[in-house]
Amino acid sequence: RAFVAGATGGTGRAIVQRLVAEKIPVRALVRDTSRAVWLLPLNVELVKGDVYQFSTLQQALGDCNIVLVATGSRPALDPFGPFNIDYQGTANLVEVARRAGVKRFVLVSSIGADEPFFPLNLLFGVLFWKKRGEEALQRSGLQYTIVRPGGLTDTPRQGQVPGGIIMEGPGAFGLPPKRTPGSILRSQVADVCVDSLVLSEAANKVVEVITAADEPNRPVRDLFAGVYL
């Protein structure tokens, strides 16, 4: 059974849809069940809670043995969001998962998490706190996969077809002289996250993912196998 935090966001919904397609039972952590019921498939179990309120999480996790986290803050609306959600919320989920003996923990982070001067870090330190969340997971002893996507989109740019996924290790993309961060469909991020759950090649790896129009489509297993610890 999969526990999904951030399930009503764009990437979270894509993850839930892929899990449902794979016939994996899903429990979604949401703050507003009346809103979530319109956004998520009917066969998804909704549990109310907040990632930054630790006391709500243990019961919410229940008997789930895999966790996928696609939470994200909106610092323009809440300047404390990056700390509360991207760091503290992730750390809370990690601790609850550790106590429960969860088998695999998948975290969606972002390209640029290693770079203090990346544009998103100049706005309330979003990526600084995402990096702290990554570190909490890496210290936990849980088996994990951290997925850092480029710019997230729902559909290909006009006139383009979806390209294949390019997967690299941490720090491959960013400010010059690194490679320019590209974009990736949320559905492709969901594929990487869900496929990683059963791949030994994905265990305890941090990967960065974008797409390119001329990149061939390759199995996610092969993509992970090409990234070394």
Q: Which residue has the higher pLDDT, 180 or 89?
A: 89
The whole model's pTM is what?
Answer: 0.95
Whether 132 shows a pLDDT value over 90: the answer reads: yes
CATH number at residue 45: 3.40.50.720
Which range marks the domain in which residue 145 is found? 2-225
At 38-66, the pLDDT tens digits run 999 999 999 999 999 999 999 999 999 99
At 29-45, the pLDDT tens digits run 999 999 999 999 999 99
Closest CA to 198 of 17, 55, 20, 22: 22
**Using H for helix, E for strand and C for coil, what is the string for 87-145?**
HHHHHHHHHHHHHHCCCEEEEECCCCCCCCCCHHHHCCCHHHHHHHHHHHHHHCCCCEE
Number of independent structural domains in the chain: 1
